[in-house]
Each structure stands twice: as C-alpha cells, then as structure tokens.
Structure 1
C-alpha cells in the first residue's frame, strides 16, 4: 500500500432498508472512495435510494449466512481498506480520521458502536469493522472477523438504532434459526450461547437467557472482550427471571473481578432493589441500604466507555437518579 493513497470502500449488505439507507450512505460518503452495497432481495425502494446516494449496487440471493454475504461484498469492493457497516448505522463522529488510519500498516480497526436499546438506553461496544484487503468473516449470524492481525482502536463512533424497539421485531425471526443452525455445528461455542442468550433476552425470556449465559460463562475464556457484557447480562437475567438468590451468589462470585465496572454495580443495585421488593421485612434495614451502596460505588467509579457493553450514565446520572429516589423513600419512612 505504498506509492499511492490506499483506496477505502464502505461495504454493506442490505435487504428492505428504505427506512434508513439514505442516512447511512449520506454519513459515510464524505470519507470514502466508493460505496459498495450488496442487496439480498429488497422489495422496497432500498436499491433506488442507494443508487441516488451514489452507491454501487450489486444483487445476490440471500445465502442464509451473514459471513458469506459480507465476504461476497468484500470481494466486489476490491479495495485496500474496507469499512463494514450496516444500513441501520451511521457515522456519528471521527470520519476525518479514516484516511490517516488507512495510511498505516495492515491491522484491524475496532470502532465504537453506540446502539440505541429497546429501553431507551445507549450501549457502547468496540467492534472490528475496518479491514485491510483480504480479511474475511466467519459465522452464519453475529459473524466475526477471522484474522490474526492486531486489533487497534479507531477514533470512529458509529450510531446504530437496530436494537430500538421498533426495529427488533425484524430480527427475531431472522437471527434465531441461523444461530440454532450454527450451534448444531458447534455446540460448545461460547459466543453462540452468548448470542442466543441475548436473543432470548430480546424476546423477554430471561430464564432461557440465563441458561445460555451460564453456558457461555463456563465455556468462554476469561479474557474474551465480551465477557464484561456477558457477566452483567447474566446478573440481570438471573434477577429478572426470579432467581434472586442465584443472582446474589453470582454477584459475590464476580464482584472482585468487576470491582471497577459501573455497569456491574448498577445492575447489582437493581438486583438488591428487587430483593427489597421480594422481602419487604428486610427492605429498610438491609436491602435498600446495600442497593444505595452499589449505586454510590457507580458514582465513585465514574463512566467506563472502555468496557465492552458499558451503558453511558451508569457511572453518573442514571446511578444518581436511582440513588436519589431510594434515599427519598428511606427518608420518608424514617420521618
């Protein structure tokens, strides 16, 4: 990649994304040489809108594999560097850094994905999306980059609203069969169990989620970059499925490891609040003071955007809000 400016393409696979495709393409166009879009069967105006935004549009029959579709799009792009995005994403900030970053050696770029959740919260994850020529994906669904190249943070933030409540229904029927098919081939893959747990959680089945999360915890290496989000998700799933004793035991088991996680302590505070509701005789004397202590710990830690799956506000205003509400209730009861 010497002697000329490296080429940079945005690469995406789409189907029926007329709602959001223009937003996506308008946000990336100023920063790249080409936009390569692979459509897998749209029946709405996605293709026409994309062409109007300057995208090179190609079509293929959906292969029942996100990795296969993404790899086909990467092959069509034939660029030195590829920024992989989804139609329900857009560049929020940092696009100006892409050219300089792509002038460096071959490595994988991890960008920040800021996802709007169904509950109105925002979750931040660092995901590998900036790829040098030749790097490919594996996995039918929740595909992952397959490469031994070093993974380096890129100061690029991408917004995502695909997990907002209005968009979730589209993903329920699409993802689960692919996850189950993948699991039949690799039943001991911890990442698949983690994603099946998240899928169950999105469908409101917290008990099923806790089973998959428990399996993922047993099988996954402690250094997995998604383990923080997994631990916090399991703590939430245990409590919301009525397994409060198990949630408290789980929290004690992982408290030391995640002593500097505002997300862990925030959700633990919620678990302790659930315990107070379930055990009102001990609410004032035990559960609520401990819940307040957990949220106080969140404030002492502060925000940790470097932790995978960290929710902005859990180290600041969200914890303060919960703390103020419970303290006000305790003051009323003491008056």
Structure 2
C-alpha cells in the first residue's frame, strides 16, 4: 500500500503552488489536487507533479471540497495542506520516521503546529503558531465537517481524538499582500454570514471568525468574537489557549488592562508551565511602571522555556515569541530604564546570539558599545559571535560599522567583504567616515543625479559632509535640482545658510528639528566635536537640546547628558522625556527628593503617563502618597480592579 497521500483544494494558486508541491513531492506517494475554478496556470503547474487533478464547482463549503479530495486518496495516511503552506525539506527525515513507525488508529488524528508568517514580507519577524489537525489515517471513516475552518470528525462512529506531534507546517497565506490579492476576507465573511444567518455558529466558529477579523485588523470585532467563543468553553480544547491569549492581547491593546489582567490571572494562570503566562504578566507590570516586578516575570518566562527545551518538550503554548524574543527584548528595555546597563547589554547579547542576522539588535548593541568601549574590545566581542570569513556576516558587520561611523571597525571588516556589493550610499558614507572630501563629492553628485534618491538619510550625509568641509557646492546643486524634493530643499537651504542668521530662521529650525538632531548625532559619532559644537550653537532650540540630552542619556553618556539637562533646567525647558529620564535616574540612585521633583512635573505635563505613578508614589513623602494615588485613580478609574495595583496602593497608604 502507498504510504502518504497529500490532498489540496486550490484556486488561482500559480504563485505559491510550486513551493508547496516541491516541499512534499519527495515524501508523498500521491498528490491529489481539487481545483475549484482556477483561471490562471494553477492546473498546468499541478500537472508537473501529479495526474490526480479534479475539477469541483465551489459551493461556499470548504468541508465539501476537502471531502472530494479525500475520496481519491489511496494511501495509508492522508496529509491535508493548502497551496500557501509548505514543509521544510530538511525536516523530511522526521516526517519519514513518523510515517514509517506510527500505527494508524481509527479514532486518532494528529494535530500539527502551523507556523504562520503574518507580516508584509515572509522574512519579517511577525510569526505566530496555531495547532491544526491535518494528518490522519485513511480508510477509517474520518472526514471533514463545517463550511469554513473545517474540522475532522468520525460522525456516528464516535469521538475523534487529537494527538499533538512536532511535525511542522509553514504557512504564509495570511500575509497582507496575499489577503489583498485573493480577497480571502470577503470570501470567508460570506461563509460566516451564511452560518450566522442559519444559526450554525459553534464556539469554535466564533473563535475562527475572531481570527478572521484580527487578520484584517478589526480588533473590536475580533474581541467580541473571542468573548463569545470562550464563554463556557473547555480549557482542554486545542484552540482554547489561542483564543484566550488573543482575548488578553486585544483587551490590552484596547487599553482594557483590568480585563486583560483578569483573564491572565484567572484563566492563563491555568498554564503555568508555559512562558506565555509570565511574559504577559510582565507586560502588565511594565505598563504600569512596576519595572522590578516586570523583569522578574520576563526572566521567569525565559527560564520556563529553557527548562522545557532541555526536556525536549514543546516550548510554547501559543506563540514562540513569548518564549524568548519578547521577554528578552523587554528585559533590555526594563534594564535600561532602571539604569542596569550591564544587564541590558547581557540580554542584548542573548538576543544577538539567538539571531545574528537581526540588524536592529546588532545596531543597538554596537551603538551602545561604540560609546562605552574601545574598538579592540568591540571587535573581540563581535568575533565571539560572528565569523568574519563568512561574506554575508562580514557584509552585515561592515554596514553596521559604516552606519555608526567607527573607522576602526570599518577598516577591520573591509578586507572580508565583497566590494561589488557596496551601494552608492555606502561609498558616500565611507567618504565621510574616512574624511575623504573627493569621495564624498563624487558620490554626492551621483546621488543627486538619480531620480529615486529621496530618502532622508542620503540628504543627511550630504549635509554632514557640507558641514565637515565647509563646502556648500553640493548643497547648491541639490537645491537647484528638479529631482530634489521640496522638503529636502528646505533642509539643505537651512544648512547652507549656517552660520548666518535671517528672518524666519527660528521657524525653520523648529520645522526641521528632527533632521537637525540626526545631523548633530552624525557629527558626534564621527568624533567631529568642534564641528558638532559649532553646529549646535548655530541651530540650538529647546527641542534639539532635549533630544541630544536624551540621546546621550540612552547611551550611558551620563556626564554629557547631565550638562545638557542642567542648561535646560536652568531655563525651565525640560520636556516630558527629559523630566522622566531625570526622575528615573534619581530614583535608581536613591535620591527621592529629586525623583519626586522631576516626576511630579512630568505627571503634570502628561497626566496620562500611567507608568510614572508607581515610582512617584514610592519616593514621595508619606503625607503626599494618598494625593498621588487619588490622582492616578481619577485619571484611570478603569484600572481600579487590577489586583497588584490595588495591593500596592493599600500598602503605600499604610506606611
């Protein structure tokens, strides 16, 4: 007997069908295609893989179409897939081991984790998982029911049991581009509306309808559906934790923290062996400014995941994000918030070791190191993680070093890169980093000559070079070029006018404050300190000084940051972010009077900044605690039922 039949229903899938069929052709004994009305090359492509292609007139019923495909299967096992799914070829040995050794039982089907890529691009880190029963024995009366998000059943033969296994299917069908191309939402909603009109909606159907709304970002409708689905539903059902976590996250995103905390404590707490419980608790603590408690929960999430991995158990309950990436990223943020820079860098390093190709993490880590360590130490650190003889890794490190303007790192990695991969903008940046005026002139002119060069960073580099060499020739060309967007012409005109003053200059400095900050930041990281000081004096506004102070503070350049903060404080020009940073800095160093001074003013300016109150109440005098607690309750009456918040308030009132 044949071992495996792979069954698909398809319509207009010429784009993704080859990937799907290529991924299963070496483990499938037969591939069965049921086409529901394709008008593209779907059937032609399928014919390269199988002769078992059958036409079926679509009736708005997925189960009916699936069952047609099952009728043609002749193998021992049946695997059901969609055209936008695939199996990793390097995991075929695991599939073969299971199919060869598992004994088929008529009452047992197998639930597999489907890894969903839900972003605009497949390579983005927007990933979720869902359990779907797709593998089952043939010739034992198992078939599909329900018109959408169809489910397997044995009908009158009795209950069909589901066993979770670790064989993985990868899915990209709900990426935004695919939803738009195929109008899946409209098609699915038509089926759901028919079911609602006929009173056919089960708890599971409400859950899947919630998923449908969530994929199209209609979160209020999704929330309503999840609430209907979970009411009275058994926690033992495979889809229950997915519905529960979805319900919690949507409540949280709608700022219904009391609801999201209630579901976390009363229901998600039934799954303490998984990371999701601790990571989501950490989110709530962090949101309300309980940073020490948040860090504790995030660490617990990582520990639980690592313990399960060591035992070769399934690591996550709903989403792999909660087992490592999310809690570790939050540990980075919380550690910086409480000025524990050593811990922040430790967790950043953990993130980078987990995914060395993540440019955002690498850039953040190296930028911090760039301002706090010598080049030799940075190189030694990176050599422990990366292999510079690997071209792709060397290219990544080179681009990051170039962006951060660290000449020593650029020189170290340059011999290991493929020079042909450098873009015009890389050469432009290289001219600035190496202080080569001729290179900067050459590639600035080339960028201005290209029609599509309207990205802000290109013009920032042109402005930086103009300031370094006091050369406005390129600025004048760019200002007069029809290819230069008007917004950049205004910025470049402002830079070209330095150091002169003129009417309306203050308004331009305010309009372009963010761009001016980026230029100033570049001058600083290039260690062009004289030029940096001159530029700041010529473009100084309260907004710019606040931005610089907060930038230096975030990089642990506390002495420099404090010099800017002092100027702002003397002129009463500290903005909300500066006040917050100063408040937490003094809190972390045990200066309660200063903590209260800065955070009280921050709360006055932004009373809805809910994360500030905990630290403010903690450090204020006993006589004032009740006043700030009352202010919080007045601003956030909807949070009054959050247990850990109430416990904290009660404790502080007793002091």
Q: Into which bin does the TM-score normalised by the smaller protein fall?
A: 0.7 to 0.9
* 218-227 vs 105-114, which moves further: 105-114
**Partner residue of 2:197?**
184
Which of 36, 40, 56 aligns to 2:36? It is 40
Give deviations 1:138-164, integer Å, cap 9, x for gaps. 111100001234433444221111122
The DSSP-based 3-state class of the residue aligned with 1:77 is coil
Question: Shift of the alpha carbon at 1:187?
Answer: 5.4
Three-state SS of the structure 2 residue aligned to 1:19 is coil
1:48-67 to structure 2, matched below 5 A, reads: 48-67=44-63
CA RMSD, Structure 1 to Structure 2 (Å):
2.4
1:55 shift after superposition: 4.8
Residue 8 (structure 2) aligned to one of 12, 29, 41: 12
Map Cα deviations across residues 2-53 of structure 1 (whole Å, 9 max, x no partner). xxx3442111000111111011111111112111100111111111111112
- For residue 235 of structure 2, give the secondary structure of its aligned residue in structure 1: coil
Q: Which residue of 2 is the match for residue 120 of structure 1? A: 125
Once residues 309 and 167 of structure 1 are traced to their aligned partners in structure 2, the CA distance between those partners, rounded to angstroms, is 27
Query: Which of the two has greater strand per residue?
Result: 1
Q: Compute the displacement of 1:196 (Å).
A: 1.5
Higher helix content, 1 or 2: 2
Instruction: For residue 234 of structure 2, give the secondary structure of its aligned residue in structure 1.
Output: coil
Deviation at residue 79 of structure 1 after TM alignment: 3.8
Q: Among residues 233, 237, 240, which one is paired with 2:250 in the alignment?
A: 237
Q: Aligned with 1:31: secondary structure?
A: coil
More deviation, 64-73/87-96: 87-96
Q: Separation in 2 of the partners of 1:232 and 1:268?
A: 12
Partner in structure 2 of residue 166 of structure 1:
177
Counterpart secondary structure, 1:302: helix
Q: Which has the higher contact order (CA 8 A, sep 6+)?
A: 1
- In structure 1, the residue matched to 2:303 is 300
Q: Is the counterpart of residue 135 in structure 1 residue 136 in structure 2? A: no
Question: 1:58 Cα deviation (Å)?
Answer: 1.1
| Residues 118, 174 of structure 2: 8 Å contact kept | yes
**Structure-to-structure mapping, 1:288-327, within 5 angstroms:** 288-302=291-305, 306=314, 310-327=318-335
Kindly name which structure, 1 or 2, has the bigger radius of gyration based on alpha carbons.
Answer: 2
State the distance in 2 between where 1:141 and 1:36 align: 20
**Corresponding residue SS for 2:338:** helix
1:151 and 2:159 correspond: no
Quote the Cα distance in structure 2 between the aligned partners of 1:111 and 1:57: 26
Report the CA distance between 1:316 and its aligned residue. 1.8
Match of 2:81 among 81, 85, 100: 85
| Shift in Å, 1:309 | 5.6
The 1:191/1:308 distance shift into structure 2, 3 A limit, reads farther
Corresponding residue number in structure 1 for 2:100: 100
Q: CA deviation at 1:184?
A: 3.3
Q: Verify the 8 A CA contact 1:139 1:182 in the aligned structure 2.
A: no
C-alpha change, 1:130 and 1:144, in structure 2 (3 Å) is same
Of stretches 205-214 and 38-47 in structure 1, the one that deviates more from structure 2 is 205-214
Shift of 1:237: 0.8
Q: Any idea what the Cα deviations from partners look like across 1:113-166, whole Å, max 9, x if unmatched?
A: 222123733323332212222311011110000123443344422111112232
Distance in 2 (alpha carbons) for counterparts of 1:152 and 1:101: 15
Match of 2:573 in 1: none
| CA distance in 1 between partners of 2:2 and 2:264 (Å) | 48
Aligned to 2:585: 334
Query: What TM-score, normalized to structure 1?
Result: 0.86
Distance in 2, Cα, partners of 1:16 & 1:125: 25
- When the two structures are aligned, how many residues end up with a matched partner? 321
Matching residue within 23, 26, 36 for 2:22: 26
Deviations 1:148-193 (CA, angstroms, capped at 9, x unpaired): 3443344422111112232233321121221232233345611111
Distance between the aligned counterparts of 1:167 and 1:266, measured in 2? 31
Secondary structure in structure 2 of the residue aligned to 1:9: strand
Classify 1:235/1:253 alpha carbon distance in 2 versus 1 (closer, same or farther; 3 Å). same
Which residue pairs with 2:69 in the alignment? Answer: 73
- Unpaired stretches in structure 2, ≥5 consecutive residues: 340-580, 587-655
Equivalent residue, structure 2, for 1:279: none
TM-score, structure 2 length as denominator? 0.46
